[in-house]
Every structure is written in structure tokens, then in C-alpha cells.
Amino acid sequence: MTQIIDRRLNGRNKSAVNRQRFLRRFRDQIKKSVSDAIYQRSITDIDKGEKVNIPTRDTSEPIFNHGPGGRREIVQPGNTDFIAGDKVPRPPNQGDGKGDGKASNSGEGDDDFVFQLSREEFLEFFFEDLALPDLVKTQLATISEYKSVRAGYTTSGVPTNINIIRSMKGAMARRIALRTPYTRRVKELELERDTLLLLHDSDHPKIIEIDEEIKRLKAKAHAIPFIDTFDLRYNNRIKEPTPTTRAVMFCIMDVSGSMNEERKDIAKRFFILLYLFLTRTYKNIDVVFIRHHTTAKEVDEEEFFYSRETGGTVVSSALELMHEIILQRYPTSDWNIYTAQASDGDNWEGDSPACRELLTQQIMPCLQYFAYVEITAYEHQSLWREYEKVKGAFPNFAMQDIAGLTSIYPVFRELFNKQTA
Amino acid sequence: MKASGSTTNTLKRKPISDSSEWTTDLINQYDHEIARVAAEFGLDTYPNQIEIISSEQMMDAYSSVGMPLGYHHWSFGKQFLNVERRYKRGHMGLAYEIVINSNPCIAYLMEENTMTMQALVLAHASYGHNSFFKGNYLFRTWTNADAIIDYLVFAKNYIAECEKRYGISDVENILDSCHALMNYGVDRYKRPAQLSNEEESLRQKEREEYLQSQINDLWRTIPVVEKQESDTEEVRFPSEPQENLLYFIEKNAPLMEPWQREIVRIIRKVAQYFYPQRQTQVMNEGWATFWHYTILNKLYEEGLVTDGFMIEFLQSHTNVVAQPPYNSPNYSGINPYTLGFAMMSDIRRICENPTDEDKAWFPEIAGKDWLQTLDFAMRNFKDESFIAQFLSPKLIRDLKLFSVLDDDTQNTLEITAIHDESGYRKIRRALVEHYNLSTREPNIQIYNVNLRGDRSLILRHIQHDRKPLDDSTDEVLRHLARLWGFTVRVESVDSDGNIELTHECKVKR
């Protein structure tokens, strides 16, 4: 007696909970992997999974076992040329094998335990460091802008949307359709009149009657309106959600001598976070890296993060360069522009007011958002004070001083508020 | 091979199918025929429940070590990740089936299998393993196929409830510790009580309270009077060494919460359920393989399956029973399928066509009815006794078995016996040892509790052939100490009776 059950439609992820338990248990190791990955990856490359290695030792489950040593007799198959009493030298690495044939049945040996973290899990660990509120994590879903697209025709609408060709086609069809019975009858009558004319004079009462009738029918056919409200067709447009066109993200970083590796790492995470937010909203994102000390330069990501220079700091040089690039390559009509700036707050004293000028007069009006983080352990300097004035004037300007990773998020809070509103 | 001999016979019947695609209907038809043949051979089975699953579901089933519903634990997650990674990279194929010792007997079939493979799996799992579960004395004694699903449901729910109430971490700690001692959570001789969900739930509360009161008694009954302390031998607790560590912990650990005891009990029960499987791997697989081979050949003789079917089946069968030699890179010990299948087939051969050698070695079965002999062997043995009883010289020769002595006092390995007249018995004895769980695992028992002092728990490791414990012992002791709550020590007893303290895990209070 057999019963066959098709379980294929049942849930597939019976082990999902156990997987979560595993991740939970090896949090620390996994977090380290994620940190390393963030360090190594490109900003635009952050949005995917990661391979994680955990030393086998850590994941092993201990049980009582015999160790090497003692006396053991093992039966093996496939003898070729041994005879009883043969002495064989010990194979070099097998001396401490387990002897029960189970030592390594995978062929992978004692390497690390390797597994793949999914994109979601990876981001989860990434966000964790940054102390994002849960709500925000879920809000990383896109907010869309709407675009109106054509969707056929309707019978009602505003006069500007009248589709003339379509309306006229309809009218003609209607005219033809309504006229047909009359014209057909007229033709019949004319035929009848012609045959009568062969026999009678044109003033024969019958013929006069037919003439009357034809006249009446023609008038009727003529009375059919050329166009009727009934014929009108309007272009129909509906709103469709679409990711807003394109965005460009400017990363500006101070690379003067005081920006050490640790600060750069914080800055990198800050840039990554902004990038991630943008990927939720925009399909195409350009990233422009600008580094500066006394002069600014557009560079690639590699150089941006991993080369170092020394010297003074003139922030306005970077802002000027950015403004130039915006004018040349990213017209505000086509691009949403976001800027993230990281610095240790040092700036040449006389330059800071110039920065404010530049921002308030020229740059801020073009931008969607400007986020500034100052990574410093010391007093704020003139740049911070000038930026505070900018912040007062523009709601889409955010700034924050950062002691550790957790203080990155507040910079983005307003950005989120704006998105959810 | 019978398959090749009968191709010219007139086919009595039309083949059931000739395409590799399976349908539920076809599975039903195959099952019907296989059941008929199995019954003709006298296989006694539980009713079958066949579940068609996808490969992902198979990976799920894998990682819960064959329990159709398991409690949650990270180690299963680890297992899953491992299987998933290796499967995706093509390092391993998934098993074609998993079968559960339950009533009805549940077998999982993967949807990717061809019709031939489904038929093979049906014969192998639903009739081979199934009849073994129902017939073998170990399974009959130690497991209760009717109640296991119920019990696992109870266990899963109970542990989930504990997680809610006491936190995932605390429960995980207990489970980790229990898993470390799982192999020492079985009664090797005593018959366990029957399990069932309702009973368990009903009795669980009572047991909780009762146990707690008993624990306190343990300490209350310490002799208060100190008279004659010097001249009476100290009373040990337990009075006899206890081999079931988890049982001892469950009943006697002084500081455990009732829910923790219940979890220890659950793991103990699960361990006990799997214990027969660990002792009958060769027999169980051998039996199932022998029967899928025999049954499908019978179907072929009757003309119910096509030549193509047989070629695919034989190719797969040959892979399963392949035994690489010891010096092959693919060698990973003796393949239980090979040994089991070869021994089962050999018994049939001895019954049907005994040689003089067989008559001398196996007078009690040579020339007897093979079906009865196999049935008897299946019912009344486990791996070690099965090999001791039935491993024939011919088979030792066929597999070219030889035994190697690895003695750490010698500089070289010694070949102690090969497949010749003087070696048969030695090889057989050595192979029996290999399948003897009680020598394969270190012999560790609870010897004493220091009732008057620091309440430390003393384990005795009885050395076998001077084999020491390995490095993970300290780790296991930490787990044991977590359960016991006080210091835990291991003393090793060597063959001369010398006792030495080898491991210790101190707990400060």
C-alpha cells in the first residue's frame, strides 16, 4: 500500500531558520569578512553578496575521539603485492590521521569553511555597523517619480487633447454608415424613375412622386452632421511610476596628510551609504571622485582611496572643480546631483568664506543634496562654521561630525525624511 | 548476470514504460509491480509514503540529518551551507533518495531523477530499507517507527517554546553541549521506553517536578555522620559506572533547570533513535542494494522493463557498489554498499552453489534455502556480528582484503594478514573490530561524583590498545562541565590498570 505525495510545491526554504542561526552564531567572523570586503570593494560594487571564510576549527563540533597513537589494525581492500609479515614505512602525513577512514572524505581537507552570503545578508551586516533604524532599512525600497505615458484614446477629455485624425476617421465612418440606407434607396428610386421615363412623360404623377421622394431622401442624407461630439477622441495619458532618470554622485575628499587610513575607511563607508541610497532611487548613477589638497583633481576610485598626498588644504578648489564638471557634463535638467564631502575640517583660513560663497551662490541651487562629514577629534574650524551658515539657508544641506561609524547615519536622516514625505 | 541472459526470451509482457520521463501514474505502476515482486520474495514492509521533492528540498532534508522535522540549530545551517556550496560547484551529487525509519516509511524521491532512477529508488528504499527497518532486531528493539514522527514534532515544538521563553542563546548552549555528547547518550543494553507525542507532553510536566525533587535528595542523602570514615571504603556515586552520559546528566546534574533536563532528554532520545542506524550501516545498505538489484532483474526477466532501463540501472548500480583500492586517490575507506551487497549476494551464492570451502566454513547455511537464510541474517545481526558470522574466504579474496597494523611503538607499519588461508580469520576479526562501535569510539563512562568535596564529576576512559583521546577532548569536557555545573575530570586507565588524570575542566563557583 503506497501513497505518493508531491511535495514540490511546499516551501523550499525549510533550512532558512537554521541558516539564520548559523549566521547569528558566527556573527563576529562574518562581520569581519564584511568589513574586509567593504575595504576591498569598489563603491559601486557594494550591492551584492560575499564569500565568507570561517576557520574550520571554529565551526567544528567536538566529540570524544581517539587521538593518534596506540595500536590499531586497519583492514583495507585492493591488495596488490603485500604478503603477511611485510614491513612498510609509515606514510608521512598519515601518522596522525584518524585511522577510521573518515579523516577526509570530502577531498577538501581542513581548509576554511566557506559559504556565500547573499546580497541581503551582506547589506544587513553592512547596515548593522551604521546603526540604521529598522524603518530606514526597509525604506531602502525605491521611491518613484511618475512619468505620463500614452495609453490609447478616451471618449472624454480636454479640448487640447483631441486627436484629430482619430476623431475624423470616426466621423467619416459614422457618416458613411448613417447615409447608406438613404443613398441606396435613392439609387433604387432613380432606377425606377428611369424605367418609368421610357414609358411616360416627366410630368407623370408617379415620376413626380419619385422625384419628391428622392429630394426628401437627399435632404435627409445631407442633414447627417459632418462631425458629432460622439466622434471625438482624446489622447489618453496615464501616470506610470518610473525611476527618476539619472543621478550623479560627487565624492569629495580631503587627502591632505592628516587623513589617515582609518578616517578614509569611515569616509568610504559614508560614500557607500550614499551610493546605496541612490541606487534605490536611480537606475543610472555616475560617480565622480574629486580629491583635493591645495588643488583639486578628478581621479578614479583606486587613486581616490588608496593614494596619499600631503600639503595644505584649499576646499574651494574642489568645489570649483565640481561646479565646472556640473556645467560641462551634468546639466541640471537631465541629472540629479548629489554631493558627499568628507574632510578632517582643516582648511586654509581665508578659503572658508569663499567656500560658503561658492556653495550658496552657485552650487547649492543645482544640487539635490549635499552631505558633509567632518572626521575629526578636535575643535571645529572655520570651514565648519561657514558650512553651518549654508545649512541655515538650505534645507538640503546636511552636515555631521563623525567620531565613529555610528554617527554616519544622522547625515542621511533628512534625506530619508524627504523621501518618505 | 541474469540481465544479459534473458534478452532472447520471448517477452511475456509489455514494458511499463520506455521513456526516461516519469509521471505519478508511472511511479504507481512501477510501485505496484515492485511490491508484487517484493512480496513474492517475502519482504515484509511498513506501508510506503513516497514524497516527490525538488533538489532544494533534498538539500533541506540532507541538512537535518534525516529527520523529517528537526528542531532549529546552527549546526544544521552549517550542514546546509556546506551541501549547498558543494552541490552548486558540482563537487557532489545529491543522494537519489532519503528514507525515514517510520511507519508509514517515508521515502523522498527527487524530481530530477529519471524514471529508471525512481524505480531503482523505490526498490532500494521503499522495499529494501523499509523491510530492514521493520525486520532487524536492533530497530525493533530500539526504535518505535509508529511514534517517531510524533516525538519529533513534540521535540521541535518544545525546543521552540524554550527558545521563546529562555532565549535562543541559552537553548543553543544546551544543544551544543548535548550534541557534543550525543554519541554517549545511548543505552547500549537497556530497552528504552516507547515514545509518543501525547504521552510525552502529558508526562513532561510531572517529570519536571519529580526530577527537581530528586536532585535535591542527591545532596540530602550524603552521609552526615563522619564515624569510621577512614576504615570504610568510600561509597561511589553512581555505584556502577554509567555509560549513558546524557542520561546521568539528565537525572543527576544538580543545577539544571527542568527545561534543560527535558532538552537533554530529547537529544538522548534522538541519539537513541539513530543508534541502530550507526550499527547496521553495512547490513542496511547491503540489504537494500541486494534487493533493488534482485527485484529489478526480476522485472527485466518478466519483460516489464526495457534494455535501456537496465543499462541505465546497471550503470548507476555499478557506481554505487564500486570499491576503489586502498592506493587509489578516490579511496575513502571500505564502501559499506560494496561490502554489504557483496556479502548478501555471497550468502545467496553459498546457499545455492556451495563450494567445498563454503561447506567447511558455513555448514549451517550451505545448500539451505537462500531466502530464509538471508531473512534470518537480516533479522538477527548487526554489522559486527554479521561480518563475524558471514564474511567468507571467497569474498576476502574477491575484495583482496589485507590488514595493516599501525603500532606507535614500531617504526614501520606491518602487514599482519592478507587474503590467504592463514589470513582469513585474522582479517575477519580485524574487520569486526572496525565495525564494533564500542571499540571505535573511546570507552568513556561516568565513574564517580565527589559528593563530599567539590562535586566534581569523574569520568573513566578505559584505553583500548593504548589509544589516547584526541585534542577535542578538552572542548567536549567544557560542554560536559556546562551541563554538570561543576568541575569535570577524565582519568585514563591503561591496560595494566594504571590510572592517570589526563583532562580536566575546572568550574569555579
Identify which of A344, A359, A361, A355 has the alpha carbon closest to the alpha carbon of residue A397.
A359
Of A21, A63, A77, nearest to B77 by CB-CB distance is: A21
The pLDDT of residue A351 is 86
B357 burial via Cβ count (<10 Å: 0-12, 13-18, 19+): middle
Report ipTM (2 d.p.). Answer: 0.82
Residue A70: list chain B partners with CB under 8 A.
407-408, 463-468
Contacts of B150 (CB under 8 A, 6+ apart): B195, B196, B197, B198
Check CB contact of A3 with chain B, cutoff 8 Å.
yes
A70/B468 touch (CB, cutoff 8 Å), yes or no = yes
The residue of chain B with its CA nearest to that of A71 is B407
A75/B430 touch (CB, cutoff 8 Å), yes or no = yes
In whole angstroms, what is the distance from residue B180 CA to residue B51 CA?
32
Which residues, numbered 405 to 444 in chain B, qualify as contacts with chain A under a Cβ-Cβ cut-off of 8 Å?
405-409, 411-420, 422-423, 427, 430-431, 433-434, 440-442, 444
Residue A78: list chain B partners with CB under 8 A.
323-328, 331, 399-400
Summarize pLDDT for B118-135 with one digit per residue, the tens: 999 899 999 999 999 999
A139 burial via Cβ count (<10 Å: 0-12, 13-18, 19+): middle
- Specify the DSSP class assigned to residue B184: G
How would you label A203-237 residue by residue, b for 16+ Cβ within 10 Å and e otherwise? eeeebeebeeebeebeeebeeeeeeeeebbbbebe
In whole angstroms, what is the distance from residue B10 CA to residue B275 CA?
48
Summarize pLDDT for B421-446 with one digit per residue, the tens: 999 999 999 999 999 888 888 999 99
Check CB contact of A135 with chain B, cutoff 8 Å.
no
Tens place of pLDDT per residue across chain A (421 aa): 688 888 888 776 777 888 888 888 888 888 888 878 877 777 777 667 778 888 777 788 899 999 888 888 899 999 988 999 899 888 875 444 333 333 333 334 446 788 888 877 777 777 776 655 554 444 443 444 567 888 888 888 888 888 999 999 999 999 999 999 999 999 999 898 888 888 887 788 888 888 899 999 999 988 888 888 888 899 988 877 655 567 788 989 888 777 777 788 888 888 887 787 777 666 677 889 898 888 888 888 888 877 767 777 888 889 999 999 988 888 877 777 888 888 888 888 788 888 888 888 888 888 878 888 888 777 788 888 888 888 888 877 888 887 777 777 776 665 555 444 3
Check CB contact of A92 with chain B, cutoff 8 Å.
no
Of B52, B104, B413, nearest to A88 by CB-CB distance is: B413
Residue A111: list chain B partners with CB under 8 A.
none
The pLDDT of residue A111 is 62
In whole angstroms, what is the distance from residue A242 CA to residue A310 CA?
45
**Mean pLDDT taken over chain B:** 86
B325/A69 touch (CB, cutoff 8 Å), yes or no = no
Check CB contact of A160 with chain B, cutoff 8 Å.
no
Which residues, numbered 479 to 498 in chain B, qualify as contacts with chain A under a Cβ-Cβ cut-off of 8 Å?
479
B63/A61 touch (CB, cutoff 8 Å), yes or no = no
Which residues, numbered 209 to 238 in chain B, qualify as contacts with chain A under a Cβ-Cβ cut-off of 8 Å?
none
Q: Which amino acid is at B466?
A: R
pTM: 0.72
Of B35, B76, B408, nearest to A18 by CB-CB distance is: B76
Residue B493 has pLDDT above 70, yes or no: yes
In whole angstroms, what is the distance from residue A72 CA to residue A97 CA?
12
Q: Name the grid cell of A6.
A: 508531491
**Strand, coil or helix: B500:** strand
Residue B154 has pLDDT above 70, yes or no: yes
A66/B467 touch (CB, cutoff 8 Å), yes or no = yes
User: What count of other Cβ atoms lies within 10 Å of the Cβ of residue B312?
Assistant: 19
Q: How far is A77 from chain B (nearest CA, A)?
A: 4
Q: Are strands B488-493 and A296-299 parallel, antiparallel or unpaired?
A: unpaired
Asked if A414 contacts A395 with a C-beta cutoff of 8 angstroms, the reply is yes
B404/A22 touch (CB, cutoff 8 Å), yes or no = no
B472/A99 touch (CB, cutoff 8 Å), yes or no = no
Asked if A384 contacts A413 with a C-beta cutoff of 8 angstroms, the reply is no
> Number of CB pairs < 8 Å for A and B?
273
Residue in this structure with the C-alpha cell 569535570, named with its chain if needed: B488
Check CB contact of A109 with chain B, cutoff 8 Å.
no
Check CB contact of B501 with chain A, cutoff 8 Å.
no
Check CB contact of A1 with chain B, cutoff 8 Å.
yes
